[in-house]
Amino acid sequence: MLSPIQFSMRTLSVYHLTRALASKASIFVKCNWQKSQLTDDEIMVRQDFDRNIIQEMGVLGFLRSTIDGYDCAGIFSLSYGLTAREVEFVDSGYRSAMSVQSSLVIHPTYAYGTETQKEINGIKIGYFVLTEPDHGSVAGMETIAKKVDGHCVFNGSKTWITNSSIADDMIVWAKNLDEDGAIRGFILERVMADIETPTLQGKMSLRPTITGTLMLDNVQVPVANMLSNIEGINCPFRCLNNTLYGICWGSLGATDTWLTQAHDYTWNIINLMIKKKLADFNTETYIGLQACLQVVKRNPTIKALEISREAHDTLGGNGVSAEYNIIRQMNNLEIVVTSEETKDMHTLILGRSITGIPAFQ
């Protein structure tokens, strides 16, 4: 019997187009596509994430492994980066789930929470709730919290939340009206009334993970659930900076997938252009690994995406086949490049650092 994480390392496949068409045609027998009627590979593609995978990552010491204490591994950041690289070799979605739990749930609780919050949060699966439907991560935040009868009452909506439907707790960022709109983090529990987490459908990237939205309608939260040791927009940004490290290393784990497959597929082809491409892939990958040591997300993620676009070309038509993993990982990297501050934002930040002139006010 395979463990959940071993099973997850199996190659993902897609539904057969003919079967999908047949289910819609009147001349064929109608099928009720319930989970029990699907193959194991088809279940994986349905974004049916097994929460036991995250729990096994915890047992293996992957989650927030740089923390010393609280049953964490207490290793160096470099070791955590190498772990992220190996996990993303399987799929970017699994590295994303690991990053969310480690850097966006456990880290803020450890850094800004009380001792009670730290002990409880370390054994639960959580998710990070910042992005809003109309405003991205921060600008124009509309989700609010206000103290009423000894509780904080929440109203608002959030979106693009990893692990939303499988998590126990969530760290929600909102404007606290009792502090002139200061941004605060609060721990909300799924069992609280009036919390809805519908899943986003039709996502073509990071397929193994569940992504959803959060609807808050007069949700009452104990005041004690507030992360009291910090306030302001710097707090969620520090969390995002923390997860960038894993993204840097992980994106180059995805390139290892293509390097391996492109090499195995073309090793006996006598073509100087293919040999040049393989040499370029390896060169750019190792330059990216050096950039990871400086926590520069912009370079490794862009290089990884560029390599993926060239790598699937070396396989010809098979480069877009689900039998090979290149196209799947390339789709994953489209969102990896965008997540946790886009490459364009990083470009503007670097430009301001170099010139001293901000691109916007």
pLDDT, tens only, 221-251? 999 889 887 778 888 888 888 888 888 888 8
CB 274 within 8 Å of CB 314: yes
CATH numeric code, 235-355: 1.20.140.10
Q: Which helix (H) or strand (E) holds 290?
A: helix 272-292
Q: What CA–CA distance (Å, rounded) separates 13 from 110?
A: 38
- pTM: predicted TM-score of the whole model, two decimal places: 0.74
**pLDDT-based confidence at residue 19 (cuts at 50, 70, 90):** very low
Q: CB atoms < 10 A from the CB of 119, how many?
A: 12
% of residues, the chain, pLDDT over 70: 80
Cα distance between residue 109 and residue 225, in whole Å: 11
**Domain segments of the chain as ranges:** 4-121, 126-233, 235-355
Q: How confident is residue 123, by pLDDT bands cut at 50, 70 and 90? A: low
For the question of residue 340 being annotated catalytic, the response is: yes
CATH code for residues 4-121: 1.10.540.10
- Whether 149 has a pLDDT exceeding 90, the answer reads no
Q: Does the fold of domain 235-355 match that of domain 126-233?
A: no
Residue 359 CA to residue 82 CA, distance in Å, equals 34
Does residue 118 have a pLDDT over 90? no
Which one is catalytic: 42, 132, 284, 340? 340
**Please, what's the b/e burial string for 191-204 (b: 16 or more CB within 10 A of its CB; e: otherwise)?**
ebeebebeeeeebe
Read off the pLDDT of each residue in 49-59 and give the average, rounded to a whole number.
85
pLDDT at 20 over 70: no
CATH code that applies to domain 126-233: 2.40.110.10
Asked whether the predicted pLDDT for residue 29 surpasses 70, the reply is no
The structure tokens 């950039």 sit at: 291
- Mean pLDDT, residues 201-222 taken together: 86
pLDDT recorded at residue 40: 60
Most confident of 2-11, 18-27, 70-79, 121-130: 70-79
DSSP run (H or E) holding 6? helix 4-8
Q: Which two tokens stand for residue 235?
A: 């707090």
